[in-house]
Amino acid sequence: MSGGCLRRRSALIACAAVAAALSVAPAHAGFFKSSKPAQSSARITAVLPEFDRAMQEQRLVDAGRMLDEALIAAPEDPQLMLRSGELHLARGRYEEAVRSFTAAEAVPALQPQARQGRGVALAQLGRSDEASAVLRQAVAADPSLWRAWNALGVECDRRRDWTGAEAAYGKAIEQPKVDPIVYNNRGYSRLLQGRYADASNDFVAALDKDPNLKAARANLRLSLALQGDYGRATATSDKDQKAGALNNAGFAAIMRGDLDAAERLFQQAIETRGSTYGRAYQNLELVRALKSNGSPPAPVKP
């Protein structure tokens, strides 16, 4: 699939955060736990909504600072472990995320959310079977967890289980306040299946909800090109974006077997960006090889 076809799976997880949770030596941890427990509990109760708001607003440094301070007072609090897991998850520290979410699962009321996070982290680690099992436990306990449904859709895509993927993404989209990335991901799934018109509809839906979602815009261009609509697929006034869109459309034209159009699109990409656009040059050579003898090298992704 073209390099312009962006999945952006990690975007579905959580806002990125930059501050790691502070560790506390056992002696100090015991001191804080035994000192003014009521005050510590009140502090945690106060900080949780502020932390969640900071994450939602992508005030990432603030979120990390608040969590650090709370963990000093209560390093083993399950609610804080749940938030710690989200921070680790967003920072790409998946092993640490698994440990934090596992700790939070000790509290029954937190199990669905903690399993959602752990399942996503396991999926990012490539532990697909474990991830699927944990994610299914999460949605069985709480069907409103759209992130878990979305992650299950991703896992089904990896297995080419299109029926399962369609069902999982459908469940995610049914949930209130679902992130637009789910529409993008379902569109990507449908793109893989060759359902280009359905995929385009999903990318449009994602952009309706978030016009700045670059992954959906790039995927929409590709899906249009795969339907032969090269004009709309390459329509942009930005020079660099235009060159990339032309190259991507040429790649799609090769997949369609439309070699004359592919040659024209690669030539236009080179004219737009200039002689430095080596990938478009290589793809142009590929098309000409196809037209001359039908046995070209592998195409170069954008």
* Burial bucket for residue 171 (CB in 10 Å: 0-12, 13-18, 19+): buried
What whole-number distance in Å separates Cα of residue 158 and Cα of residue 259? 30
Looking at residue 243, its pLDDT comes to 92
Looking at residue 91, its pLDDT comes to 85
- Look at the alpha carbons of 42, 45, 51, 57 in this order and tell me if their dihedral is positive or negative: negative
The overall average pLDDT reported for the chain is 85
On whether the CB atoms of residues 152 and 136 are closer than 8 A, the answer is yes
Say which residues have a Cβ less than 8 Å from residue 97's Cβ, sequence separation at least 6: 85, 86, 88, 89, 117, 118, 121
What whole-number distance in Å separates Cα of residue 107 and Cα of residue 100? 12
pTM of the shown model: 0.79
Token pair 């990896």 in the structure block, residue:
158
* Burial bucket for residue 126 (CB in 10 Å: 0-12, 13-18, 19+): exposed
Give how far Cα 197 sits from Cα of 82, 93, 186, 256, 293, Å.
Answer: 40, 37, 12, 15, 32
CA angle in degrees (0–180, nearest 5) for 142-11-148: 15
What whole-number distance in Å separates Cα of residue 88 and Cα of residue 80? 12
Sequence spans of domains, the chain: 232-302
Looking at residue 52, its pLDDT comes to 84
- Look at the alpha carbons of 48, 52, 55, 59 in this order and tell me if their dihedral is positive or negative: negative
Q: Which residues of 205-225 are buried (b: 16+ CB within 10 A; e: fewer)?
A: bbbeebeebebbbbbbbbbbb
- Each residue's pLDDT tens digit in the chain (302 positions)? 444 455 544 434 333 332 222 233 333 333 334 444 555 677 787 888 888 888 788 787 888 888 888 888 888 899 999 999 998 998 899 999 999 999 999 999 999 999 999 999 999 999 999 999 999 999 999 999 999 999 999 999 999 999 999 999 999 999 998 999 999 999 999 999 999 999 999 999 999 999 999 999 999 999 999 999 999 999 998 888 899 999 999 999 999 999 999 999 999 999 999 878 888 989 999 999 998 886 544 555 54
On whether the CB atoms of residues 234 and 221 are closer than 8 A, the answer is yes
Looking at residue 109, its pLDDT comes to 97
C-alpha closest to that of 60 among 121, 12, 19, 94 = 19
What whole-number distance in Å separates Cα of residue 200 and Cα of residue 195? 9
Say which residues have a Cβ less than 8 Å from residue 226's Cβ, sequence separation at least 6: 191, 196, 252, 255, 256
What whole-number distance in Å separates Cα of residue 249 and Cα of residue 269? 10
Model confidence pLDDT, tens digit, residues 255-267: 999 999 999 999 9
Model confidence pLDDT, tens digit, residues 192-217: 999 999 999 999 999 999 999 999 99
